[in-house]
Structure 1
Amino acid sequence: MSGRILHVVMLRLAPDTPAANLESVMSGLAALQKDVPGFLEFAHGPNRDFEKKSPEYAYGFQCSFADKDALQSYADNPTHKQLGAKLVAMCVDGANGIWVADIEVG
């Protein structure tokens, strides 16, 4: 059994990405909390890049999950897959414009 997982995603959005489209995907991901057991938190927003280390990634979100199994349930969820495809379409270089880290914190 794994500890709690922070799922961190950074997006290299295409310059012409409509804000409404991005907000729609973020709202959809947040709504998955009620459908995916162990999906604990969701937060999203612009990358302020105060340390000047990731200017190409304009936006990001983070989710926390009770454990690896909950993260896998999220990854396998059909709605998550549909929303993920929309994010891929919004990013420069498609899937290569998305950076992901899964951090075990407990």
Structure 2
Amino acid sequence: MQVSTATNTLAIALREKTFWFTDYQLLCSRLPLLTYGKLIKTSFLKFPKMPQVQHVVLLSFKEEVTTEQITYLFGLLAELQQLIPGITHFSGGPNSSPEGLNQGYTHGFLMTFVSVEARDVYLPHPEHERVKAELNPCIEAVLVFDFDFKS
């Protein structure tokens, strides 16, 4: 087993195969499988928790944008999780809060990234730029707020 604190990766060599992990929760869930059913004690694996990033985006669509267009655009946003590495979660939809504090924002979405670096790869990524090019003409206002957290 080899741990690199510089890149926050772990390599496990089992039966002449090497497995590299950057997601430590995923690693711990896969260890019994990697050892071919032999359960090994994993308490010795102490990893630093890497901060993940929550990417919160609030949108206000122009009045002429239809519900069908909005559904299509949210479909494009959801597809980014399969097209860009490092996105672990996507959810989004119309505002449903009864508080009335949405300040004109009608929709929102949340993306979770495995790391700050993954978020930084996403921002200029060609697939993200393609979706933005379709989304931006339909948007009256947008608010983006990112924060780091450790799970």
Alignment TM-score > 0.5, same fold: yes
- Does residue 52 of structure 2 align to residue 8 of structure 1? no
Any idea what SS the aligned residue of 1:102 has?
A: strand
- Amino acid corresponding to residue 82 of structure 1 in structure 2: R
Q: CA deviation at 1:59?
A: 0.6
Offset from partner CA, 1:15-58 (integer Å, 9 cap, x none): 11122222222111211212222100000111123222114000
Letter in 2 for 1:98: V
Answering whether residue 42 of structure 2 is matched by residue 42 of structure 1, we say no
**Higher RCO (C-alpha under 8 Å, 6+ residues apart):** 1
Structure 1 spans left out of the alignment, 5+ residues: none
Q: Distance in 2 between matches of 1:33 and 1:16?
A: 28
The SS at the match of 2:61 is: coil
Residue equivalent to 1:72: 120
Q: Of 74, 79, 83, which residue of structure 2 is paired with 1:31?
A: 79
Counterpart of 2:127, as a letter, is: T
**Which consecutive unaligned segments of at least 5 residues does structure 2 have?**
1-7, 9-49
- CA distance in 2: counterparts of 1:100 and 1:52, whole angstroms: 19
Q: How far does residue 75 in structure 1 lie from its aligned partner after superposition? A: 1.2
Structure with bigger helix share is 1
Match of 1:18 in 2: 66
User: How many residue pairs get matched?
Assistant: 102
Counterpart for residue 63 of structure 1: 111
Give per-residue Cα distances to partners, 1:61-82, cap 9 Å, x unaligned.
1100001111122212212112
Aligned AA for 1:69? Answer: E
RMSD (Å), alpha carbons: 1.6
Q: Is the 8 A contact 1:38 1:70 kept in 2?
A: yes
With normalisation by structure 2, the TM-score equals: 0.62
- Bigger mean CA deviation after superposition, 50-59 or 38-47: 50-59
TM normalised by structure 1 equals 0.86
Residue aligning to 1:100: 144
